[in-house]
Structure formats: C-alpha cells, structure tokens
Amino acid sequence: MSHLDDLVGPRATAPPPPPPDDDDMEPAFIDEDAPDTEVVADLDEEDDAPMSESDDETDDAAAAAAGGGDAIVDDRDAAGDAIVPPSDDAIAVVSSHAKPVFAVAWSPTAPDVFATGGGDDLAKLHRLSAAADGVSATVSASVDLRGHADTISDLAFNHDGALLASGGLDGRAMIWNAATGAAVRTLEGPGGGLEWVRWHPKGNVLLAGSEDYTAWMWNADDGAAMQIFAGHSNTVLCGGFSPDGKTVVTGSHDGSLRVWAPRTGECKTQFFGHPYHDGPVTCVDFHPTTEGLMLTGSEDNTARLISGVSGKVLGTLVAHAETLECVGLSGDFPFAASGAIDGKLVCWDLNTLQPRNTLQHGGAVSALRWIPGTACLYSSSVDGAVRLWDTRVGTCTATRHGHAGPVLGFATSPDGALVATASDDRTSRVFKMA
C-alpha cells in the first residue's frame, strides 16, 4: 500500500526505529561471497516443506501484484486537490462509488472483469463490454459487494480468477464468487484494519497484513485460520507470498522485513538495522524467477536489493528525495524500478546498482508495474495521469488523462493492454494504453 499522507489525509506515525550504530550509509554493492559482508540472517538450513502437495509442481507462478491500487492512510475519505485534466482518454468509467476509490484488481483470466473498492465501504465487481465503435467500452454490469463496515483497503483475485478477496479497515477479509458476486465467506481474527491481501500463487490460501502488527493466513475454502505471523512491533505495511509460494514475507512500519515459514509460522530471517533500511518499509516486490531476490522501499528514501535465501543485503539504491511508494523487479532484464513521493520513477541497472534513467512525473508516483516480456512499465501518479514508459531509452510513449484527482493505483488486464485505475476523485477509469 502507499503512504500518500500529504495528498489524501494525515496518518498517525509511530516513533522511528533506533538508528543504526554505523552512520555510514553510502550506497554500495555487497558481494555475497565477500568475507566482510554483514549477514543479517543465515538461511543455509533446509527450507520447510511446501504447504501442500501442489507446491511441489515445477511450473512457474507469477508473484502477487505489487501496485494493486490501494492507499494507506487513516482518513481515506479525505479528498485531494482537484485536477483539471486536459482530456478524458478513458474508454470506460466507473462512477458509482460515493467516496474515493482506494483499491482495484483485474481478473487474471477474464479480460472483461475487474473490481474496485472504496471509502464507501463497498467493493464492486464490473464487467466490460466493447462498444459498437470498436474503440470505447462500457461497464455493462456492476455488482455491489456488501459486507464490510469500513473502507476497502485492498482487492485481489486468486490464481484462476474464480475468487475475489477484499480487505477492509474493519479488520476482516471477505471472499467473493467472481462470477456472481455472491459472498462466499468472511475471514476474521486480526485486531486492526487490514492493509493488504495477497493470494497464494497456486492455491486458495489468503494472506493479509494488519494494523495490529500481525499477518494472518487463512484457508479460503473453509475459512480456517492457518497461521498468525507475529513479531513485528508496528503495522505490517506490505508483504506477500514468494512466487513459488513456499515463503511469506512481511514488511513493517517498525523498519524490518521478515521472511517466514508458512507451515510453522517461524521467522526464518529478519532484515533490520544497518545495512538495511533506516525507516519504515513501505513496499516490496519479488523477482519472478530468481529465488529469494526482493526489492524493498522505505521512508528513508532508498531501495534495498536483498536475498531471502542468503539473508544478505545485496545493495542500496539511492536517488530519491522522499518516501518510496512502489518498487518493481523486471523478470526479463536486469532492471528494477522505484517510484516515490518526489515525483521520480527511477529505472535501475542491477548489474551496476546505478540509475539507468529518471522518469519525471507531475506529482508523487503511486504505483508501477513492469510489462512482462518487455523493458516497458506502467506508472500512475497523483498528478492524475497513467503513463507507459520505455525504460531502454527513458521515454514516455503514452499518457492517459481523465481523472480530476490523484490516481492512487491501477491494475492491468491479462494481456496488459488495458489499465483500470483507483482514484481519489471517486472514479475508476479504464484506459487503452496501446
């Protein structure tokens, strides 16, 4: 989720974690084999067995969506400054939410189905239909998903698109039939609002991070709580399953990132203190094919490249002047990207840990996502626009306008051609990007 506090309302903050003993925080690439490398945790021992027999399969699984289109603030109903868009490039618009839209998700299997959630305590399931002109589209059907008693903070479809999960600030996750919109079950337990929800990449297991300093894991088929991951000392701001589904990762406002064994609930490694972040961990992304490789962002204005396998910090990426909101690892090139409140989206060369190019926005960067099979990525910004970038040359190849308020996040259609947004202007817009 994102920390757009200055744009969508104040957020209560906790005291920062104790500063590291060593004040030397210059960016550096850390050789895993170097004798003086600081090891945050030793993971040489065997990992726990897979959670289920299906985890023994060798097929690749995509990581959960990193941007997701959610916002993390205490006052999620607060409106941002009005924007006058130069045009409305949307091919379809959802305008039925009564308050800002904070979450959006697109079915991984149905190119015409997406969902939105907002400050009106409602999630909505939408179906797109192509218009007669072959260019525009209409939202031909929308179903209200009622059951939450507070803001919808996040949405996620499961791996086969059959189920939709919603997380709310009421501390509950709800599971919905994605074909009919019928409520399947309610998952309860956390003592605080849910910040995010993520599905296991291969099964109907749901993970959620909470304001009560814990993360919960449920079996969505029967509603049973499978594990509670406790150990953080502040809100769990980000996290998810690794792409192979065999580990759980959580990042917290306490400045730490933890790697957990899902079956036992044991924390296998913890990143905290020098040479890791010196502030709350706001975002995390997983490399889709390199086991354990992760990128994290923080309120300390930096990104860290880390290995959950070796337990080492591999490098520090320094280029931003404000909090990082989103990070992403390319699965096709040795590239990474980070977006921050300073309006910069920085594309990084992971071979040198240096910026390849800096892509400027008119406001904070709220979300980003690499397009598989390409060196291109999408970004959204509180300046009201969604953009397509070619990171090989650092150029913006498409900009889509239409929102009268900040774009807080987005989701992409299965083929990556369409983008659905979540905005503070109480709408979700669908843009054709190419």
When pLDDT is cut at 50, 70 and 90, the band that residue 79 belongs to is: very low
Q: Are 340 and 349 in contact (CB under 8 A)?
A: no
Q: Would you call 34 helix, strand, or coil by DSSP?
A: coil
Q: What is the pLDDT at residue 423?
A: 98
Report the candidate in 122, 119, 213, 245 with the shortest Cα–Cα distance to residue 174. 122
Q: What is the pLDDT of residues 182-198, one digit of tens each?
A: 999 999 999 999 999 99
When pLDDT is cut at 50, 70 and 90, the band that residue 50 belongs to is: very low
What is the average pLDDT across 36-61? 35
Helices (H) and strands (E) in the chain, counts: 1, 32
Percent of the chain scored above 70 by pLDDT?
A: 81
Q: What is the pLDDT at residue 56?
A: 38
Q: What is the pLDDT at residue 22?
A: 36
**Tokens 């304001």 correspond to what residue?**
211
Q: Are 302 and 320 in contact (CB under 8 A)?
A: yes
Q: Are 409 and 2 in contact (CB under 8 A)?
A: yes
Q: What is the pLDDT at residue 136?
A: 78
For the ranges 3-12, 147-156, 333-342, the lowest mean pLDDT is seen at 3-12
Q: Are 427 and 415 in contact (CB under 8 A)?
A: no
d(CA 190, CA 173): 9
pLDDT of 113 > 70? The answer is yes
Q: What is the pLDDT of residues 357-403, one digit of tens each?
A: 999 999 999 999 999 999 999 999 999 999 999 999 999 999 999 99
Q: What is the pLDDT of residues 142-184, one digit of tens each?
A: 999 999 999 999 999 999 999 999 999 999 999 999 999 999 9
Q: What is the pLDDT at residue 81?
A: 66
pLDDT higher at 51 or 378: 378
Helices (H), 318-376: none
Q: What is the pLDDT of residues 251-282, one digit of tens each?
A: 999 999 999 999 999 999 999 999 999 999 99
Q: What is the pLDDT at residue 74?
A: 40
pLDDT of 80 > 70? The answer is no
pLDDT higher at 167 or 80: 167
Tell me how far CA of residue 16 lies from CA of 138, 196, 256, in angstroms.
47, 22, 11
Q: What is the pLDDT at residue 294?
A: 98
d(CA 79, CA 254): 28
pLDDT of 26 > 80? The answer is no
Tell me how far CA of residue 5 lies from CA of 153, 196, 262, 366, 369, in angstroms.
15, 17, 32, 12, 22
The DSSP line for 64-89 is PPS-TT----S-TT--------S---
For the ranges 3-12, 216-225, 289-298, 313-322, the lowest mean pLDDT is seen at 3-12
